[in-house]
Amino acid sequence: MLRHISLRGLPLGLLLLSCASMIFVPPTVSAGAWVQPPGSSFWKASLLSQTASERWSCEGDKAVADPDGDFVQRQVFAYGEWGATERLTLIGSWAWKDARIDGTPEYGTRSTGDLRLGTRWGLVQGKRPLAVETVFSIPTYSRSDLALAPAQRSQFLPAGTGRVEAEIRFLAGASLFPLPLYTNIDLGYRVRGGSFGEQWVGALELGASSPRLFAKTELRFIIPQHEDCGTDAAVGAVASGERSLQVAPEVAVRFSRLAWVSVGASFPISGRNSLDAPVWSLGIIVWKQP
DSSP 43-68: EEEEEEEEEESEEE-TTS-EEES-TT
Q: Is the pLDDT of residue 258 over 90?
A: yes
Angle, CA of 220, 97 and 242, to the nearest 5°: 35
Q: What is the pLDDT of residue 5?
A: 31
Task: Return the SS3 of 223.
Answer: strand
User: What CATH number should be reported for the domain holding residue 134?
Assistant: 2.40.160.40
The mean pLDDT of 250-254, rounded to a whole number, is: 97
Under the banding of pLDDT at 50, 70 and 90, the label for residue 122 is very high
Alpha-carbon distance 153 to 157, whole Å?
9
Tens digit of each residue's pLDDT (9 = 90 or more) over 155-194: 556 667 778 899 999 999 999 988 889 999 999 999 987 7
Question: How many structural domains is the chain composed of?
Answer: 1
Residue 223, pLDDT above cutoff 70: yes
Residue 253, domain extent:
2-288
Model-level pTM greater than 0.85? no
The average confidence (pLDDT) of the chain is 82
Q: Based on C-alpha coordinates, what's the Rg of the chain?
A: 19
Residue whose C-alpha is closest to residue 214's, from 184, 181, 186 = 181
More confident residue, 144 or 116: 116
